[in-house]
Structure 1
Amino acid sequence: MSSPARTADVDVDVLIVGAGLSGIGTAWHVRTYCPDRSFAILEARDAIGGTWDLFRYPGIRSDSDMYTLGYSFEPWTSDKAIADGPSILAYVNKVADKHNLRRHIRFGHKVVAAAFDRTTARWTVEVQAGGERRTLTCRWLHMGTGYYDYSTAHMPDFAGKERFAGTFFHAQFWPEDLDYRGKRVIVIGSGATAVTIVPEMAKAGAAHVTMLQRSPTYMVSRPAIDKVANGLRGLFGDRASYGLVRWRNVLMQMAFFQLSRRRPAVMKKMIRKGLMKELPPDYEIGTHFTPSYNPWDQRMCLVPDADLFAAIRAGQVEVVTDHVDEFVPEGIRLKSGRMLEADVIVAATGLKLQLMSDIAVTVDGAPRKLSGAMTYKGMMFAGVPNLSYSFGYTNASWTLKADLSSYYLCRLLNHLKVSGRSIAVPEPDSEVKPQAFLDFTSGYVQRAKDILPVQGDRAPWKLHQNYVADLALLRYGKVEDGVMRFEGTRERVPPSPTLVGEPA
């Protein structure tokens, strides 16, 4: 079998991989703060939006408010703070079109390998596109591809699943023609996906929906519409009110997280009190909504407008806490011996994490394994030149960190140009002790421990998971911090109105 043909392609200053929320945000930053730099965006799929275009399950929505999940530079103006997937997808497309970014996207381009050569100070990036193997070169490579596998999801090996007589699938691959009206549904899982799907299917006409979970998840309710934010928008306009509400929500998220970590017993009581207001008086909260871990040891589930709890009160939804013994033609037999009958079974059993889209990376001809590598400022790897990536917060909105990372990238690119250098590489530090990349006990994180990088025990190698700390480090901290090493030579360019050393 012959290998795909190779064709030469163009050379750009910055190559961004991924046209989702992260990639479009990075492209805006490069266009705005590095206006003299050429850039292109590679997207493996045929549409903008990433996650928000891929997932099609009922009720798909944000699990963060849009005042922090939205971009810092583009106010969210919809009435709903907890937005549905199509609205978020429209928002990302609006940004791409408003700022003329779509023309820079090459759709159907899947990156398979990237090699850096110090002698030319360039990455050679191999992509698969339309049956051909193409080569692009760039001075800087930025990965905005997220952190999970679009082609594969986590699916436990359920005994007897082939015997089930109904319809069974993973939520990540929702069938477009599925009709579940009047049918009995089991959704396996208790994370954000299950908590979204279950009330939506009940609302849309399923005869009955069972949320089957092995163990409970912490859940909190909040209104989908932020009346205060909408009121401020009427008073101060879109941009000023957006900034005010964004900072209010950031500080509230930080306070909530810190209280959870420092006073977990207090937070448990607060969460239980909220559940007692929403669930029937005799409901077994201890069985179905009291996890064995502390709040924010795993990501907390958001229930907008208490829709899940309303469906439970109405008898449309039942939560069952048990383990699957086996699938049978009629449904699922549980370890307890109970039988759950179903026409449709949905596995909302989690994501499969993927680092940097599993591309093969080499530096000066030597393969570089990024799993286990030390991360710098949560966006670069020790010893790997001119490579950055977007990775958001686990305890707050993804875009908060992605925005800061993109901003720092522009500071770094402009510093290289002003200083007459061509290469920036974080210097490995043998005194820094490695720590787990994510301090989370969630199943999807634990399953991916072997493929994730590591963080250090001190800045700038440590992940703060704190927006204020990262704001100080990435927006205002020194670029020449004694850790980042600058190499290579090129013509020095003095600062000018169109090329600033640090973007304002």
Structure 2
Amino acid sequence: MNPQPDIDVAIVGAGISGISMAAHMKLMCPERSFAMFERRSNIGGTWDLFRYPGIRSDSDMHTLGFKFEPWVHEKAIADAPAIREYLDRIVHERGIADHIRYDSKVVSADWHSDEAMWHLTVEDPRGWQHVTSRFLYLASGYYDYDDPHDAQLPGIDKFGGQVIHPQFWPEGLDYAGKKIVVIGSGATAVTIVPAMTDKAAHVTMLQRTPTWMAAGPSRDKIANNLRKYLPEWLAYRITRQKNIRLRDYLFKRARNEPDKVANFLTGMLKQELGEDYPLDDFQPPYPPWDQRLCLVPDSDLFAALKAGTASIKTGHIESFEAGGIRLKSGELLEADIVITATGLRLALGGKVDVSLDGETLIWPDRWFYRGCMFSNVPNLAIVFGYLNASWTLRADNNSDYICRVLNRMHDKRAVIAVPRLPEDHGMEEIEPFPFSSGYLQRAKHLIPKSAPTLPWRLNQDYLEDCKDFRKRPVDDGVLKFERLPAKTEAA
């Protein structure tokens, strides 16, 4: 008899990616069993982990929301509690909740070729558990939950106040009347600075280099008006397509005509802050969308700057002192609290120790296949979201595709689906990320290889991917569907 796994699909992570896969399985593969292993006590992933003031989406919820579940709140740029409520409702209404195993950390996963299944080692409150599954779906995001990036800030041990990383925000932090310095200029810093001006004496954003920013409304007027006259699902679909195509246009325009887009963004900033806005604090040394563009919803950061409750300082740190931060210019930034919003550390596959027949899987030795599977790695998929669009767009695409793979396996009575790539393939390798962001450059040594063309490319074009998924069949001749090895079937 063929060995049977405990479950058909093991989903690692109960955030956006994992919930998308679970919902797609309910819709497309209802006869298959699955379990979701969530290392924390709640669903939500990023949106439950981060608890800093003002935490919100940096993409509109009509694209960060799932394609199968309309976002109906008035605000398109939503805060974390609203996002968690949206995810929680989906989990319970779609019968996913019973499949989630909380406080369950998948430590390792070893593929057994003779059985065509994964052997998982899971740590939960009962101790160490052994679980087998036919397919492994890694949906745990792309950054390290335990160890954020250490920017090696000089002399930070000399600081006499409190140092906080946004990833480990202390509950009930009292910052009323305190002088706060937020180190960093990315989306996290742009969110925290205006959110803390309500109680703080003053909030300063300290940046080494500026970031391209653009103000936008937190409410989508078109979406809210469409819902008045159209069915909910149709209004959502129209709004979603509008926002996808608008962002795609702006990104490609920035790549093709960077100077024009830079002038456009600069004009918007001058309109927000006045003609005498500080150029050195808002003029990055790189073109727009060479790093992710920061959204400023309802101009909240700019309003705080104009009100004098917040400020931006561009400079390099000489050292920390008991009362603040000394810059190389000689200026002292006084601080009671320092927040180190200095970036994340990438971790592929939730740091699960993945191996094939006992041999550790070296990710950089493999090639991306269709943005979610890997060369010569059987029955495994991962979610690595778009860097120039909403994470959920890739999560939904991957979930739909892998469910079609599972159904094709069933049709062919196969137990293995593996993208086969011969050693003499002769493909050219290109940069996996067309961006200069520090957190991506620091992680290049961890990332699988990417080719210039599909299907062996980690693409950053959602619309092109959608077209490819529609036209290229699942059974494309590259993805091989196989049964158990002959010796196992004979046994």
- TM-score bin, normalised by smaller chain: over 0.9
Cα offsets for 1:391-433 (capped at 9, x unmatched): 1110000001110000000110000100111111111252212
Contact 1:435 1:457 in 2 (8 A): yes
Q: Give the C-alpha shift of residue 198 in structure 1.
A: 0.2
> Distance in 2 between the 1:191 and 1:435 partners?
26
Q: Give the C-alpha shift of residue 230 in structure 1.
A: 0.2
**Structure-2 residue corresponding to 1:125:** 120
> Distance in 1 between the 2:471 and 2:242 partners?
21
**Structure-2 residue corresponding to 1:294:** 287
**Structure-2 residue corresponding to 1:498:** none
Which has the larger displacement, 152-161 or 108-117?
152-161
> Distance in 2 between the 1:183 and 1:191 partners?
22
Which amino acid in structure 2 is aligned with residue 227 of structure 1?
Answer: K
Q: Give the C-alpha shift of residue 155 in structure 1.
A: 2.1
**Structure-2 residue corresponding to 1:220:** 214
**Structure-2 residue corresponding to 1:235:** 229
Cα offsets for 1:23-80 (capped at 9, x unmatched): 0110000111001101110000111100000000000000000000000000000000
> Distance in 2 between the 1:338 and 1:387 partners?
53
2:394 to 376, 396, 401: 401
2:166 is the alignment partner of 1:188:
no
Which amino acid in structure 2 is aligned with residue 271 of structure 1?
Answer: L
2:47 is the alignment partner of 1:38:
no
> Distance in 2 between the 1:326 and 1:280 partners?
33
Taking every aligned residue pair, what percent have the same amino acid on both sides?
Answer: 47
> Distance in 1 between the 2:301 and 2:358 partners?
54
**Structure-1 residue corresponding to 2:23:** 28
Contact 1:298 1:441 in 2 (8 A): yes
Q: Give the C-alpha shift of residue 489 in structure 1.
A: 5.4
TM-score normalized with structure 1 length: 0.93
Gaps in structure 1 of 5+ consecutive residues: 1-8, 491-504
2:451 to 456, 481, 490: 456
> Distance in 2 between the 1:353 and 1:475 partners?
31
TM-score normalized with structure 2 length: 0.96
Which has the larger displacement, 358-367 or 327-336?
358-367
SS in structure 2 opposite 1:435? coil
**Structure-2 residue corresponding to 1:271:** 265
Which amino acid in structure 1 is aligned with residue 206 of structure 2?
Answer: L
Contact 2:109 2:120 in 1 (8 A): yes
> Distance in 1 between the 2:186 and 2:192 partners?
10
> Distance in 1 between the 2:471 and 2:297 partners?
35
> Distance in 1 between the 2:290 and 2:89 partners?
35
SS in structure 2 opposite 1:457? coil
Q: Give the C-alpha shift of residue 131 in structure 1.
A: 5.7
2:383 is the alignment partner of 1:390:
yes
Which amino acid in structure 2 is aligned with residue 45 of structure 1?
Answer: R
How do 1:94-493 residues align onto structure 2 when only pairs under 5 Å count?
Answer: 94-130=89-125, 132-202=127-197, 204-284=198-278, 286-429=279-422, 430-488=425-483
**Structure-1 residue corresponding to 2:488:** none
SS in structure 1 opposite 2:6? strand
Which has the larger displacement, 146-155 or 354-363?
354-363
Which amino acid in structure 2 is aligned with residue 358 of structure 1?
Answer: K
Corresponding residue pairs, total: 480
Contact 1:377 1:459 in 2 (8 A): yes
SS in structure 2 opposite 1:56? coil
Alignment root-mean-square deviation, CA: 1.3
> Distance in 1 between the 2:375 and 2:390 partners?
26
Contact 2:181 2:338 in 1 (8 A): yes
Q: Which runs of 4+ in 1 moved over 3 A?
A: none
> Distance in 1 between the 2:152 and 2:357 partners?
42
Which amino acid in structure 1 is aligned with residue 292 of structure 2?
Answer: R
